[in-house]
Chain A
């Protein structure tokens, strides 16, 4: 076929969608795996014999597997799916190097597999969300460099001058994760499997939470906002509500986020000035966070009626709304006195999951369902199942978060309760643990519903892929021989 078939003035680009399909499938599969492990450890908290009496299946070894699988495998792979798909189209060019794309893909999956092997074996740094041992950390660094070269290489060969807002957010993701990962994991190896951080005590705690909180900021927030800025206008067929708002909240968000880490260390031995900085910046973070939420929701101005019929928009709207709710809750929990009650409790777990299940999960599902027919050029096999998935997930999140709020408030209040004689009202810790049990079962129910929704998506995806290809109506099936 000659280039002459393209309309005059139009650029014909041969996008690499094979890499997008790879990341897409990895997202779906790892999502189901990560959520399954979540369901298992939720069961362990409600019913301890589910630890199975084996070293490899205790809560202490499986929880990092759950968090890493859903953050770095599920959320990570959807970010790469969306970035490889949308940046090629926004920049009107194929990725700079197909080879680097493939190295990135296989390297990243190999890192996930190595995490899934090492954690159950008790091979871990036990630094929250940075549990990977040093050789795997080195691999992460190398793969991230490969990704960054490909990313900036593609920007360098772009066919459009203007860089759209989604790409700004992707860029902050690529840069910041590199900085966080490297600085946080500087360590002295003792053996191939064990190392000790170069930081000690409260300094290690501060560096780790600077990393940990900004993993939320730059792994679970900025790339997802990038996805929102590309796929929400596409799905709603409306332009972004405000260009100016996108500028303000982008710079506001990336500048303020990085300061917020110390809110994880309120009432600790960390110097007061650092604790206060963390608290104040966390509260300020509300503004740019809600700027993003409003820009997303208001983009639907004039398209709200589509919500009634379009399950993809349903996922998006609930996702962006949960983003707004958890970025309101977060600053509130960063206020010292509120944190005094919330810290160490299930409330924090509920907060994390309203963000992870509500914002990251729902937006991920939306993007996946939007891409599915387009990437494989097939009709979605079970369209009604998409709506069913939406309701299952939404009901699941609500049960989950309400159960954890109630559990968190209860244990926080009972831990601190003091009677008239100045003694602890609940001196026996295990008594409070037992009162949490009903909430743990409720949380298991909510989490299971959410997990079942993801399984339905997995079934739908594989059935769709195996279905017949769409017959192209517009394009001529056979071009005349030239």
Chain B
């Protein structure tokens, strides 16, 4: 066996160049490798921060505090592992889910939740598709609304409560990343939570469901019910055919 397992017999000139210049100089090798692995990322990622990459729309508003709390639950439970939020521009997908997903619809999504697998259906246009009570029952027992569903039940969301101070911390952090919340938004987190929560509780009450505005399920419903709604309205206002 040749030294280091190398077959010297197959060496040609540039092999010798590589051997002389790179293979005996660890620092030079490391620098060259670093340059090689940086180029692709720079070319693809940097333009995303320019007009060539970003699409922004005034039609999409930042998540309300209750929706932020609901989204945190969505993230925490790993919903994205079974449900995508990404309708692709294909006939069958548009028929099944609605208008295909535009980049600007995600502008306030941190982290993005496009997902990579559809064990269950896509959720990007699930907002307003079902009544609040449907979601409540579905999370309590998925088979009560979707016979034969393979989704696990999430009854703890019906009992768990959200902490307004925790939500405020999220809103403040999101504001620091660039989400356009105002001072009033930050100061009014508690009030906003109570107001939007009460509206959902009232709608649930009409279906005979009793709960309180600070339950996790209420926040999750608030989040799910806004998914894709503003985007669809904007596309319809623009008269985009789909």
Interface residues of A (CB under 8 A from B): 44-45, 48, 51, 53, 55, 58-61, 63-64, 90, 122-128, 152, 155-156, 158, 161-165, 168, 171-172, 175-176, 179, 183, 188-191, 194-208, 210, 218, 229-230, 233-234, 237-244, 247, 251, 254-259, 261-262, 264-265, 267-271, 273-274, 277-278, 281, 340, 343-345, 348-349, 411, 415-418, 423-424, 427, 429-430, 433-434
Asked if B170 is at the interface of the complex by the 8 Å CB criterion, the answer is yes
A175 in contact with B37 given A196-B111, A208-B111 (CB within 8 Å): yes
- Contact among A161, A194, A261, A429 with B44 in the assembled complex (CB-CB below 8 Å): A261
For residue B8, which residue of chain A has the nearest CB? A243
- Contact among A58, A90, A207, A418 with B95 in the assembled complex (CB-CB below 8 Å): A418
User: What are 24 contact pairs spanning A and B, CB under 8 A?
Assistant: A48-B151, A58-B78, A59-B82, A122-B76, A122-B77, A122-B78, A126-B75, A128-B80, A161-B24, A162-B4, A162-B24, A165-B6, A176-B37, A190-B169, A191-B166, A200-B178, A202-B48, A204-B112, A208-B112, A244-B11, A274-B44, A344-B84, A418-B91, A424-B95
SS class, residues of chain A in contact with chain B: helix
Give the contact-size bracket for chain B: 35 or more
**Cβ–Cβ contact A247 & B4, under 8 A:** no
**Cβ–Cβ contact A60 & B82, under 8 A:** yes
**Cβ–Cβ contact A240 & B174, under 8 A:** no
Instruction: Return chain A residues, CB-CB under 8 Å to B54.
Output: 202-203
A163 in contact with B24 given A240-B7, A427-B96 (CB within 8 Å): yes
For residue B42, which residue of chain A has the nearest CB? A258
Instruction: Return chain B residues, CB-CB under 8 Å to A61.
Output: 77-78
Instruction: Return chain A residues, CB-CB under 8 Å to B36.
Output: 251, 254-255
CB distance from A10 to the nearest CB of B (A): 14
- Whole-angstrom distance between the alpha carbons of A256 and B43 in the complex? 12
Q: Which of B114-122, B182-190, B195-203 contacts A (4 or more CB under 8 A)?
A: B114-122
For residue B177, which residue of chain A has the nearest CB? A188
A-B CB pair tally, cutoff 8 Å: 295
- Whole-angstrom distance between the alpha carbons of A126 and B38 in the complex? 25
Instruction: Return chain B residues, CB-CB under 8 Å to A264.
Output: 116
**Cβ–Cβ contact A194 & B170, under 8 A:** yes
**Cβ–Cβ contact A242 & B10, under 8 A:** yes
CB distance from A42 to the nearest CB of B (A): 12
Instruction: Return chain A residues, CB-CB under 8 Å to B120.
Output: 429, 433
**Cβ–Cβ contact A233 & B1, under 8 A:** yes
Instruction: Return chain A residues, CB-CB under 8 Å to B14.
Output: 244, 247
Instruction: Return chain A residues, CB-CB under 8 Å to B88.
Output: 267-268, 340, 343
Instruction: Return chain A residues, CB-CB under 8 Å to B2.
Output: 239
Instruction: Return chain A residues, CB-CB under 8 Å to B156.
Output: 55
For residue A264, which residue of chain B has the nearest CB? B116
| CB under 8 Å from chain A, chain B span 72-121 | 72, 75-82, 84, 86, 88-93, 95-96, 101-121
**Cβ–Cβ contact B107 & A201, under 8 A:** yes
Instruction: Return chain B residues, CB-CB under 8 Å to A199.
Output: 110
